[in-house]
Chain A
């Protein structure tokens, strides 16, 4: 048995694979649910209903989707040029830090000034953090999978240093968190819900990225550089400059995710800005992949993932399912998508022992 590269990738397969992968993961998870004595259909329909069947559920799904969209868009852009940015989690933490730094100056002003300053702080901190591995890649050709991943841990510790130390709220009884942000530093919320302006930012950026990616010359350069760096260089494109630019935006967007999360939801900087069971920055990788590196896809998949979180949390309550079921579904989705991806690019060929494949079998299909 071996894998053969498909000469042509069908457009249909491109979109069919994620859908089938998700379905397959649900089927496998249903077996798991059955083994715990739960009714999978009841569990899935409860998840769907809790997440998308009530206005409260929908608003909470959007809350959850907001940082996922921003991180997902950032990761998507980097993946578009085959730069494997696994560092959205760290860039998100740095962004949260950068936004908080603006507040920690003691400034208590109008939101019209504070929010843009915090957005800038968050974007810049995330961007700078992402530029480190980008620069190392350009100058030393280091493996960005390793550098971006390892910098995540550094960023998380960096945040920890500040909330345990200089920024610790004096009345928090030593608990590691900053004071609550003043009102000028809090993002506007839709009345009676927790949906905040960050969701609007995320949508606007998705639209902008669509035009950059699909309609601009630079978007074309990214795609070409990703596909074949040598050809890109030959065509006069500056691959190094593009890597730096792409990572600046990629990290900046993850940084912005950190900013909206502290300014819109947490209202302070603390340790668990990203849920450690399924951190935003890592989930964003799954999202970018499932979305076929398409901005609309990122928005859609982020909302579905948000629904998986919210629905999963509520079936934990109503059906007494263990929290890990949701994580298992997520992992299974990724597993099947990656597996499916291989099958859409390669085909399985079964050889009979002792018999060489015929030429016709090679080129057929």
Chain B
């Protein structure tokens, strides 16, 4: 039930909602919190609150990556009978986003997903003035009574793709096109390198930082510079398939990210660590519907299914698949996780001692690279 309202009708709707909401609040003596005005209008199917969910995207849906992954999940929850969704794409990070958030609040949306780190403060600010609206911010660390956060342990499938990349490499050089030098990206890069080294200790991972999430031209150039230094598998923490295409053009392999990117570079794309945000969205939408939502910080992994691998390309041999599946099973069962010692830092000093597992806090604040990564973190 995708919403497509004309201007005229939306005015009418808002007016009706406002009126109904006012009557409703009067009827129950005012001050019933967390009940959206729409509840008064419709005798809701089931006995929950209808959910009007808005999604704020940092890039166009057509980015074929990060935002597309969110939008696919939006379409999944949009199928639910009690859910309406809407989205705005290419919303700038920073205070500009506040206007878009306010607009959705004013249009009667009762659940807003903000899907990029840079929306953290705008989300907190708008949430402070909109206590009846539930906000979910992706990848941040600030919460409020009506703001929760959600993210996924992408480092787990990244480790698995590192194993595949190393198995497919002949030059022992892998290339990694990285976005911003922030812990999320550093963690993924380190996990990829550790996965690669687990099957081939000689492997080196060269990294180039683009300092942007979304810039096809820059991403392609970065990938080309990595191909030039001999990388024969390109992985990426970027939102477009441009690095994939660069790898395919040179007849090398690639590991995608965010969504299945195989259609953009069928001859190069081996697999991709991808998001299944519907795991989160289904749950949150239901909680808001039933009034059971409370603010929390969600960080799920392979076990929850919020992250995973896209289907293997035919290029990946069966023995490699078996190896990866075995490791995946160990992670899913909780028997083992990626940042388990011994791990050395880039300088070769012991970072995580044998048998120790890095804490979530240390992982979330990761600012160092592991041994075998070639490149520095821009200062």
Contact = CB atoms under 8 A, between A and B. Distances in A.
A270 B60 CA distance: 21
A56 B104 CA distance: 13
Interface residues of B, number: 40
A317 B10 CA distance: 11
Contacts of B6: 39, 42, 319
Interface string A243-286: 00000000000000000000001111011110111000000000
A265 B102 CA distance: 15
B159 to A, nearest CB: 21
A49 B95 contact: no
Interface stretch (B39-47, B178-186, B260-268, B347-355): B178-186
B326 interface: no
Contacts of A318: 5, 7, 10, 107
B95 A265 contact: yes
B367 A272 contact: no
Nearest to B366: A174
B118 interface: yes
B88 A316 contact: yes
A188 interface: no
Contacts of B7: 42, 45-46, 49, 318-319
A265 B99 CA distance: 11
A174 B364 CA distance: 10
A275 B180 contact: no
Most buried by B among A160, A265, A272: A272
A40 interface: no
A242 interface: no
Contacts of A335: none
A320 B84 CA distance: 14
Interface in A164-212: 164-165, 173-176, 180, 194
Given A180-B121, A317-B107, A174 B182 contact: yes
Interface string B170-209: 0000000000111100100000000000000000000000
Interface in B344-379: 364-365, 367, 378-379
A232 B303 CA distance: 77
B181 A164 contact: yes
B248 to A, nearest CB: 28
Nearest to B4: A320
A66 to B, nearest CB: 13
Interface residues of A, number: 38
A272 B98 contact: no
A310 B106 CA distance: 14
Contact of A175 (B107, B117, B379): B117
Most buried by B among A268, A317, A320: A317
B99 A310 contact: yes
B103 A314 contact: yes
B95 A267 contact: yes
A271 B211 CA distance: 10
A272 B180 CA distance: 14
A313 B92 CA distance: 11
A20 interface: no
A310 B9 CA distance: 20
B291 interface: no
A272 B99 contact: no
Contacts of B211: 160, 164, 176
A180 B89 CA distance: 26
B15 interface: no
B93 interface: yes
Q: 9 nearest interchain CB pairs? A: A174-B182, A46-B7, A323-B90, A265-B95, A266-B95, A275-B92, A272-B94, A165-B379, A272-B92
Interface of B: 4-8, 10, 54, 60, 86, 88-90, 92-96, 98-100, 102-104, 106-107, 117-118, 121, 141, 180-183, 186, 211, 364-365, 367, 378-379
30 contacts: A42-B8, A56-B106, A164-B181, A164-B211, A165-B379, A173-B141, A173-B183, A173-B365, A174-B186, A175-B118, A175-B180, A176-B180, A180-B121, A267-B95, A270-B94, A271-B94, A272-B93, A273-B94, A275-B92, A277-B92, A310-B99, A313-B99, A316-B88, A316-B89, A317-B54, A317-B86, A317-B103, A318-B10, A322-B60, A323-B89
Given A164-B211, A164-B379, A173-B183, 13 more contacts: A42-B8, A46-B7, A165-B379, A173-B182, A173-B365, A174-B186, A176-B180, A267-B95, A268-B121, A275-B96, A314-B103, A322-B89, A323-B88
